[in-house]
Amino acid sequence: MATPLTDQEKRKQISIRGIVGVENVAELKKGFNRHLHFTLVKDRNVATPRDYYFALAHTVRDHLVGRWIRTQQFYYETDPKRVYYLSLEFYMGRALQNTMVNLGLQNACDEAIYQVSECVCLGLDMEDLEDMEEDAGLGNGGLGRLAACFLDSMATLGLAAYGYGIRYEYGIFNQRIKDGWQVEEADDWLRHGNPWEKARPEYMLPVHFYGRVEETEEGSKWVDTQVVLAMPFDTPIPGYMNNTVNTMRLWSARAPNDFNLRDFNVGDYIQAVLDRNLAENISRVLYPNDNFFEGKELRLKQEYFVVAATLQDVIRRFKTSKRNCSGPLSFDSFPDKVAIQLNDTHPAMAIPELMRIFVDIEKLDWDTAWDITKRTFAYTNHTVLPEALERWPVRLLETLLPRHLQIIYQINQIHLDHIVSLFPGDLDRMRKMSLVEEYGEKKVNMAHLCIVGSHAVNGVAEIHSNIIKTDVFRDFSELEPEKFQNKTNGITPRRWLLLCNPGLADLIAEAIGEEYVKDLMQLQKLNELVDDDAFIRDISKVKQDNKLKFAQYLEREYQVKINPASVFDVHVKRIHEYKRQLLNCLHVITMYNRIRAKPTAPFVPRTVIIGGKAAPGYHMAKMIIKLITSVADVINNDPIVGNKLKVIYLENYRVTLAEKVIPATDLSEQISTAGTEASGTGNMKFMLNGALTIGTLDGANVEMAEEAGQENLFIFGMTVEEVAAMDQEGYDAMQYYKSIPELKQVIDQIKSGFFSPKQPELFHDITNMLFNHDRFKVFADYESYVKCQEKVSALYEDPKKWTQMVIKNIAAAGKFSSDRTIAEYATQIWGVEPTDLKIPPPSEPREAIEETARALRKI
């Protein structure tokens, strides 16, 4: 029997995370000590753990800089078509470990920190240093995290791509659970500084608001505006092991220096200084209401701020490209050199803004400008929920962006004239397809603007794309069917396997080689090992190790002991009625009632883990959290239940916490009402990390079932067609309540105050909603869900069959790489080909400095 490896021997092993080279380690140690001394101005007597994190971050960044500069030089020399991904959210998480993984430095950094620590008895631990980094929580959930995965894949595929967004001073709020209630705290993620960003004040740009439109002989002029400056901060985005480093540019609002000069003259200097905050509030905080449109002026300012600054930057780069510098400038080639992807409708004002630039500033005629604009933009739709679709009041646009409203009206008039020519007299079609909604308060439908102003429109899963073509945007699809596409979402395997689950990543590499990291379809080779007892045993051990590690984390952070042999049943995502955390909660209470009714009966132990944030103004979502935590208090403290059932609410769910819980999960809950979840990406992360899925045929679950075989997922509930039929017939919640005894018992317990004895009526809002206006039909799927959960427990009692199903799911996860998604966007929408760019390898940091000095001497 082999002797177990010591921690240091494990650290020195060759793994998929990079070979530990002596020169690498020496260089990293030198850089670490240099940054501690010269950058942070500390010695080891006074340095804090955060200082050591910053020293390591700067050291790793040193290895990025040469690649970053070379990449941008390469783009200038070769002048490829550039892709601009516009998103109001980039949910990046932490950068240190991701950068080390993509550069192949993680094991070398581990060893360097170990040696530095051993040498001077610092007691440094890599995980502790990584935990000092704040999450860059610049997103609410799926949409922002998708944007982050896409940036990783665009760099890995060698695309000349840029992410553009806002550098929010405060990201998604930190969630605290106090007495079972969600309490929001500000996420001051920049308070210690951010070692990964580089301010670029030399590219600061003006953004205009308010004012009026003046008609002149030369055309329309937007005058008497208020100006806010957009200051760019660049973050490097490294591809995986390919020397490509792309850029994410985030804009921060700054007041101009000549603010309110008139106030100075009357002596009100202090007030003038304070008024600067009004301008700078634009980038102060991320709006937390994902999937609910509020229509606040500040939000519209944010949306226009990012597109106005970005388009100026895009046009500057186009004008100063090598090709345009050497010949006459023509915008005819603009769509051949620029592709702009709108991540949902939030950046939709880019369409009238580009038209304003072309017509008012560059003096192109309308038809030419509109042709260029349409060939430049493409639009991704992310939701079918009506409350999430953006509709901006005309009165607000008229005040804030008067010229843009004029342009929208003109776009709409031309659009409606076209519809009339095709469907004369069809007033209902005109009303449904107009960009401007006339009923009630006059509003501009931003999704309609995106569709009309783009050459391609896509959904994010097959089922979602079909719904937007046949239902939500049916009239537009009938008008231009060739415009509508599907691009099923994906996740980056670098963060969501190599980084978060190195044990599984290395095991897969041993079995099929390392190439799968950049070609995830190679996971299909694992199907050959489904009956291999040794591989089954190894997969099972990796999962058990991850579960033990997460159990220790829960005990440390939540002071609760859980049974590592239990089914880890995990439901983590934003709290929303359509995601049906309530259905999960009803099943938890059902299991509790069964245990209490028959305490000695066999029961497969479960640890139900639920986590996610509710939008601060979303009352029902907050009540759902309170119900779950109240149920957890009762169950976890009932001696009859013991270790058979535990319920944990994960506080402050975020990217870093996802990286901990996903590798430890046995059962992934993806239980939205069919037809409501656009795609989901959490489902893909769990699948890749060896969890089995219990879910409806909704979003990407449908394609997961196609890839793995429906028999290898736990599918339950109504289909989209059955939901639609029930909508036609009418949903009667009371019928289910009366006919299903276990459901009746659960609802009666909630209603009577069993879980809230001090406030018996606490959850009446929830029960009233379930009976009277539950759009998401929780009761209708309850019985099917409970029976499906019984199948889960039965299979879990057969570890070999369970693990074989796990292997089949991992083997089927290849389609859900964001590399595949981005390759499809590139070839089918953007008109670019993914390539392994031949960017020269960078110099080492010291050589790079000398190379720069030589270049400067030549100048």
Q: Annotated catalytic sites, by residue?
A: 382, 573-574, 579, 681, 685
Structural tokens at position 387: 């409350």
Element at 136 (helix H, strand E): strand 136-138
Is the Cα dihedral 126, 131, 136, 137 positive or negative? positive
Beta-carbon count within 10 A of 102 CB: 26
32's torsion region: left (phi>0), alpha (psi -120 to 50) or beta? alpha
Tell me the H-state helices in 377-457.
394-400, 402-422, 427-433, 446-452
Q: What are residue 249's phi and psi, to 5 degrees?
A: -110, 120
d(CA 22, CA 30): 12
**How many CA atoms within 13 Å lie on the side-chain side of 268?**
10
Partners of 339 in beta bridges: 83
d(CA 706, CA 377): 32
382 CB-contact burial (10 Å; exposed 0-12 / middle 13-18 / buried 19+): buried
d(CA 797, CA 689): 20
d(CA 631, CA 635): 6
Length of the chain: 859
Contacting residues for 790 by C-beta, under 8 A, at least 6 apart: none
Q: Closest Cα to residue 152, out of 96, 102, 113, 215?
A: 102
Q: Closest Cα to residue 634, out of 752, 749, 754, 476?
A: 754
Q: Closest Cα to residue 683, out of 731, 697, 675?
A: 697
d(CA 582, CA 775): 13
Question: Would you say 87 and 164 are in contact if contact means Cβ atoms under 8 Å apart?
Answer: yes
Question: Scanning the structure block, which residue is given the tokens 């009303």?
Answer: 431
Structural tokens at position 777: 């039909």
The residue type at 360: D
Q: What is the DSSP letter of 562?
A: -
* 3-state class percentages of the chain: helix first, strand second, coil last, to nearest 5: 55, 15, 30
Q: What is the DSSP letter of 777?
A: -
Beta-carbon count within 10 A of 157 CB: 25
Q: Closest Cα to residue 219, out of 31, 55, 361, 21?
A: 361
C-alpha pair distances (Å), 345 with each of 451, 806, 823: 10, 37, 22
504's torsion region: left (phi>0), alpha (psi -120 to 50) or beta? alpha
Contacting residues for 751 by C-beta, under 8 A, at least 6 apart: 763, 764, 767
d(CA 859, CA 856): 5
Sequential DSSP letters for 446-458:
HHHHHHHT-SEEE
Strand pairing category for 212-216 and 219-223: antiparallel
d(CA 174, CA 184): 6
d(CA 606, CA 789): 11
- The gap from C-alpha 131 to its chain's centroid, in whole angstroms, comes to 20
Question: Would you say 163 and 151 are in contact if contact means Cβ atoms under 8 Å apart?
Answer: yes
